[in-house]
Every structure is written in C-alpha cells, then in structure tokens.
C-alpha cells in the first residue's frame, strides 16, 4: 500500500491534520445521476492528488447518486487508509434519526471504509429534523461509522443553535461557499466565530467555477510570487488559519496547480489588493 506524505501546509479538523487544499468531487461520477463514462480518468486524478500529498477528499451521497463515493472508494484502495481524510454528507431527504444512520452506513459501504467527517449537506426549515440528525451522527461516532460531525451551508445563527443541541460531541466543521469574490463568511461574522470556536471552514466553489482562474488582476498579483490567478485565489482563502479550500479534482493539470497554491502566503497588502480585483 502507498503512503500519502501529506504536504506540510496543514490545517486542523478535530484532532486531525489535513492539507490546506483538498479535492472536491462534485460532478465526478455524474451530478444528480450516475455517469460511468469518465471513471478511469476520475480515479486516476484522485490518486494523482494523493500522490502529490493532498490527503483531504470531499464527497457526498448526492454526488452522482452515490457514484462519486464509489469512485473515491476505488481510488483510495492503493493507499494507507489512515493517511487519508474523507468527508461525505447526508442529503436533507435522509435527515432524521433512523434515515441519517441508514444513509451514513450506505455511504460507508460505497466508500468501502469509515467516514472521517460526516456533514449535514444543507439546512432545512424544521430544526427538529436537524437536531435528530445531529444526534444520529453522535451515535454513529460511537459505532465507528464516522469519526467527526459537521454541517454545510449553515449560517452563524443556525451553526450556534446546532452546537447547543449537541449532547456528546462537537461540530468541528462547516462547509460553505467562500471565495475572494464571495466573502460572506467574512462580512457576517461567521468566519470570526468559527475561528474562536476552533471550527474548520471548508470553502467550496473557491474558484467561482473557473472565473477567478481567468482574472487578469489576480494573475498580476501572482506574477510577484511566480503563481497563477487560481493559486492566488486559493491562497487568499487558506491564508485564514481555520480555512480549507476544496476545489474540484477534475484532472491532473488542475490538481497540480491547486497543489501549488500551498506552501506560501500572500502579503497582507496583496491580499487586500486581491479583494479589489473582483
């Protein structure tokens, strides 16, 4: 089995250390339905990312109706499991005590392994459902199906409320849309609160579907560091001590570029300039 020599630009989720940039799998293996046409390419891309030293993989039962999890499960077979940190999510239609436990076990089966961090994928209006689901996840930790509990797309008020109903374990992560263009976690107080509480912020769509990678102003900043616009946009996020970015792991070229966003930091002046680029 291969070892994943995690890159030394690491962030903390719970008691674990993960690379500041991980691999997102939305669209890999299909979107809302399975697509098997690019499985080989997707598996090779994830393995390449692991070989580079990225140890964080983000997936969900909703991605490709579970097929993304199957791809991840296949990709990690060549590697030591304890070197990898896998994140998956329960879709709101499976919220509730029994349904959430069933969904988590199904995800673990598709992955062929336990889940390091399991998230509530989206909030729902019925907070009782959220509470029941969180309590189910606590029991899943005790059963060894998952290791940590988190949420996704929760605003500050809902995150605080969710923390209050936890009985045995803490919420260790909140995955939200966050980029240098969409800085709502900064402006709403969510980011500062999560810093104080030691909660990791996992930033999805960090490149705004590729538009930031083509931003000439960000590219100009990158010239000072020998970096691309995409690398500047990603570095803007991981500059924060508790932020992990999860751009899509679509191909080897993009993975290599994403990897190069780690191991250095923008100056405060250039970080402020990056804000003005978008």
In tens, the pLDDT along 197-211 reads 999 999 999 999 999
Q: Is residue 249 predicted with pLDDT exceeding 90?
A: no
- Give the pLDDT score at 29: 86
Report how far residue 213's alpha carbon sits from residue 230's, in angstroms, rounded to the nearest whole number.
4
Phi, psi of 7 (to 5 degrees): -60, 150
* Mean pLDDT on 34-54: 95
Residue 124 · residue 93 · CB < 8 Å:
no
Percentage of the chain beyond pLDDT 90 is 94
- Give the pLDDT score at 31: 85
Average pLDDT, the chain: 97
pLDDT-based confidence at residue 32 (cuts at 50, 70, 90)? confident
Selecting among 48, 63, 118, 178, the annotated active-site residue is 63
Lowest model confidence (mean pLDDT) among 130-139, 159-168, 247-256: 247-256
Structural domains for the chain: 8-208+235-259 (3.20.20.100)
The Cα-based distances of 102 to 45, 77, 96, 133 in angstroms read 30, 24, 10, 11
Report how far residue 62's alpha carbon sits from residue 71's, in angstroms, rounded to the nearest whole number.
13
* Mean pLDDT on 18-27: 97
pLDDT-based confidence at residue 7 (cuts at 50, 70, 90)? confident
Report how far residue 23's alpha carbon sits from residue 49's, in angstroms, rounded to the nearest whole number.
8
pLDDT-based confidence at residue 253 (cuts at 50, 70, 90)? very high
Phi, psi of 33 (to 5 degrees): -135, 155
CA of residue 95 relative to chain centroid, distance = 20
Inter-axis angle of helices 97-111 and 127-143, nearest 10: 50
- Give the pLDDT score at 257: 97
Tokens found for residue 179: 């980029």
Element (H, E) at 111: helix 97-111
- DSSP for 66-77, written as a single string: GHHHHHHHHHGG
- Give the pLDDT score at 236: 98
Residue 54 · residue 85 · CB < 8 Å:
no
Given phi > 0 = left and psi -120 to 50 = alpha, else beta, which region is 94?
alpha
Q: Is residue 74 predicted with pLDDT exceeding 90?
A: yes
Q: Is 169 part of the annotated catalytic residue set?
A: no
Q: Is residue 9 predicted with pLDDT exceeding 90?
A: yes
* Mean pLDDT on 238-257: 95
Q: Report the DSSP pairing between strands 200-204 and 10-13.
A: unpaired
């Amino acid at each position: 089995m291969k070892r994943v020599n995690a890159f030394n630009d690491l962030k903390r989720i719970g008691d674990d250390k993960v690379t500041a940039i991980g691999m997102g799998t939305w669209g890999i293996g299909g979107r809302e339905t399975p697509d098997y046409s690019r499985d080989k390419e997707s598996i090779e891309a994830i393995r390449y990312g692991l070989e580079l030293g990225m140890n964080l993989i983000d997936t969900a039962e909703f991605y490709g109706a579970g097929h993304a999890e199957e791809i991840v499960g296949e990709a990690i077979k060549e590697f030591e499991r304890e070197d990898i940190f896998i994140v998956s999510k329960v879709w709101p239609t499976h919220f509730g005590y029994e349904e959430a436990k069933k969904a988590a076990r199904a995800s673990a089966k598709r992955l062929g392994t336990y889940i390091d961090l399991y998230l509530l994928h989206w909030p729902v209006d019925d907070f009782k459902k959220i509470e029941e689901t969180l309590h189910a996840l606590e029991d899943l930790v005790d059963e060894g199906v998952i290791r940590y509990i988190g949420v996704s797309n929760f605003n500050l008020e809902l995150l605080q409320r969710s923390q209050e109903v936890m009985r045995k374990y803490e919420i260790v992560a909140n995955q939200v849309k966050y980029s240098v263009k969409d800085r709502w976690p900064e402006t709403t107080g969510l980011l500062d609160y999560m810093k104080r509480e030691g909660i990791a912020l996992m930033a999805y769509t960090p490149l705004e579907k590729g538009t930031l990678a083509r931003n000439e102003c960000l590219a100009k900043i990158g010239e000072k560091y020998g970096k691309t616009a995409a690398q500047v946009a990603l570095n803007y996020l991981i500059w924060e001590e508790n932020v992990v970015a999860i751009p899509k792991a679509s191909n080897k070229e993009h993975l290599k570029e994403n990897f190069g966003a780690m191991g250095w930091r923008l100056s405060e002046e250039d970080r402020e300039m990056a804000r003005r680029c978008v």
